[in-house]
Chains A and B, each alone.
Chain A
Amino acid sequence: MLKIENLTKSYDKKTKALDSLTLSVNEGEIFGFIGHNGAGKTTAIKSITGVLPFDSGTVELDGISLSKSPIAYKQKIAYSPDNPDLYENLTGIKYINFICDIYGLDGEKRRLNIERFAEAFEITADLGSPISSYSHGMKQKVALIAALAHEPKLLILDEPFVGLDPKAAHSLKLFMRELCDNGGIIFFSTHVLEVAEKLCDRIAIIKKGVVIKEGFTSEVVGDSSLEEIFLELVE
């Protein structure tokens, strides 16, 4: 279970990018994080991945605290950012292998996982090329393979569908569901409300660093559409 309590972050000590953010996500859930630009989605995601230090609050996964045991916490998570800036001098396969080395994923399992995800994202043939030759979508695919390959308990994705072709986007949705069916957790942000509505078990809408609506998708949406609810709430 992912537990976020009173997460607060300020960049300039005046305005709070995150104001006592409190959320919890259970095993098997796909959790959608929605908000307009500058609402605090990426700040929240970077904080719970350990990329950005936060001012106060706690982040725990299965009782393991990010602040107290960062290595043990990070061993169980994977992150793919909205803008996949990867090591341009490495080839795709070298980058993925480097990530697998750090997570301690060994031989056969590593090969099978990478092969499976690479085939699904149709990028196998290009894995031997330097990342500098990749398009945005190809970099996104490599970042996703690296994130999925070590079978994380918690997968954190920031705008994962941006830049992906329709087939890859479809494959990603299947992999997300599969990971959750195996007891994993997905925490992802998106601006594509139709995707969030169809894919997420639970959603939270964030505005100015504060969660203004949270719950099961069916409860939040009710008889309207997520788009209508979102526009109504953020106005």
Chain B
Amino acid sequence: MKTTRFLWQSLKYNLNAIGVGNKFKSSSTGKKIAFSLLFAFLLLYLVGMSVGLSYIVADFLSPLGLIDMLPLIFFVLVSILMLVTSVFSSQSYLYKAKDVEMLSALPLSNRVILVSKVLAMYVYDLIFAFIFLVPSSVFYFIYADFSVIGLLSAIVIILLSPILPSALGMALSYFVGRTIKHIKYKNVFITLLSLAVFFGYQYLVSHLGTVVEYFQNNAYELHGQISRYYPPARLFSDGLSGKLLSTLLFAVISIALGVLLILLIAPHYSRICANFKQTAKGKKFAFQDAKSDSNKKPISTLTATYKKELYRFFSSSTYFLNTGILFLLISILFFASLFTERAFLVQVLNLPFATDFLTPLMCAMLCVGIGSVYTTAVSISVEGNKLWIYKSMPIKEQTVFLAKILVSLTVTLPVLLVDAFVLFIGLELEPRDLVLLVTVPAVYAVFTAVGGLLVNLMLPKLDYPNEIIAVKQSAPAFIGMFGGITLPILVGALAYLLKVKNLVLFLCIAAGIFAALTLLFVQLLRTWGVKRFRSL
């Protein structure tokens, strides 16, 4: 009874840590409504995407007589998704969890503590399982035969589906963590590893046509290969078709593996956590070696704050990779495809009125890329319990804000300039186009940086057990990223709906509006923002 109560309380705490529980319980009706809307939108977005994808795949497979592959494909996809998230989340929720030391001092066994952590990860992964496996199962039942046993099998397997990929993710995370612990430039390694994964994924997406072709030609072989290399997917597919034995086998394998993993890790859990938390020490410091620190010329508070903010940004792979790198990656991929697909480019350039819409389109695309950078939207949150440092120092709040905005612009503007020049040369544009390509996205870069800061001041997330919650899973992070990306798309949609003829003029007006809004935001930061910062 005591253990069950602890596990339930622990699960609630973990859900609250990412703000889910707290926001629904918020005393302010406005906050409750805003959060409910945000949550509903996110859920609808993901479910809609899953339903759409399930339908497209089901519709493609059914005429080929391969509907059995629908659950197979989705099970593999969701397993990969859960595996990847588990590799990352195991680090923060399992091995580097801040409360393990405190929990270890309580009359709780290591096994119970470990189960409480694994349970939280299981619930997170279960959300993915529901979102992606329920629609594909429904479409399977629509296109293939429906049976009660099939339905029961679907429920059982979906509920147990996170166990296998999570277990694998936990093991992988352990070995990756152990390996990179001994690497000096850990952040560089993590960044390079993430870039490799990203480019690998993009390569796959860019060669999707070949993949689909391969899929059509080798569907039966593929079916066999998936079944051979990842048998749980086959068991899921068989379970849906009413084979009860497959469901039972899946359940036994999953539960046995889960229990085995707990039994194997539990005795060593405290020691593993202690090892993971140890940080490598730097070399022995001596003042005579620290050339940069002696006879240092005084620098302005803005320079000092900017330097500190920039260092903070680049020294945290969580912060840097999640909030700042997408624009650079998108740019690299965009140019790679632009110049490798030269024939397509020539075709586009030869279209009538190409010059009229090309520059505005490129401007919009650059704005979308800039919108993916949301460093300022979490810049107050990442201060967390260190906010006292800024608040007790003789520094103006505006200086802190400006330093945070400058970090964002340091990330966006150099990439923007390179992008604009490459486009100018590559697409043989006019000098007027170059001016547009630089100024319009630059205005948007300042707008998103200032706007992001306001959003974070409005919705700060200062109390969290792990930085990843502030950077990825908080409301300002979500608003910062999706807002930044969505706005240029909305402006583009508006131009399309209004059937705007002079897109350049429309773009200039839009940039003017963004500039005016930026000025308004700056004024808000100087007044309300300062008061708000002091009250945090």
Residues of A with Cβ closer than 8 Å to B? 46, 49-51, 53, 70-75, 77, 79, 81, 83, 85-87, 89-94, 97-99, 101-108, 110-111, 114-115, 118, 124-130, 132-133
Contacts and interface: CB of A to CB of B under 8 A. Distances in A.
A212 B369 CA distance: 61
B294 A130 contact: no
B285 A128 contact: yes
B535 interface: yes
A41 B61 CA distance: 70
A103 B389 CA distance: 12
B312 A87 contact: yes
B386 interface: yes
Interface in B267-307: 278-287, 290, 293-299, 301, 303-305, 307
B16 to A, nearest CB: 20
Contact of B392 (A50, A91, A130): A50
A93 B284 CA distance: 12
A75 B311 CA distance: 24
Nearest to B278: A133
Contacts of A85: 384-386, 388
Contacts, number: 122
B391 interface: yes
Q: 5 closest Cβ contacts across the A-B interface?
A: A128-B285, A101-B304, A133-B279, A74-B394, A75-B394
A53 B283 contact: no
A30 B294 CA distance: 32
Interface of B: 278-287, 290, 293-299, 301, 303-305, 307-308, 311-312, 315-316, 384-386, 388-389, 391-396, 534-535
A219 B307 CA distance: 50
A110 B296 contact: yes
5 contacts: A79-B392, A85-B386, A94-B311, A107-B296, A130-B282
Contact of A124 (B279, B280, B285, B297): B285
Contacts of B284: 125, 128
Contacts of A124: 285-287
A99 to B, nearest CB: 7
A51 B391 contact: yes
A133 B281 contact: yes
Contacts of B388: 46, 49, 51, 79, 81, 85
Contacts of B535: 53
A66 B311 CA distance: 30
Which of A94, A101, A103 lies at the interface centre, i.e. has the most chain B CB atoms within 10 A of its CB? A101
Contact of A93 (B281, B293, B389, B534): B293
A89 B393 contact: no
A101 B393 contact: no
Contacts of B295: 107-108, 111
Nearest to B298: A106
Nearest to B283: A128
Given A94-B311, A103-B394, A126-B285, 18 more contacts: A49-B391, A50-B391, A51-B392, A53-B534, A53-B535, A85-B386, A86-B386, A89-B316, A90-B308, A93-B290, A97-B293, A102-B301, A104-B298, A106-B296, A107-B296, A126-B281, A129-B281, A133-B281
B150 to A, nearest CB: 52
B282 A74 contact: no
A130 B281 CA distance: 7
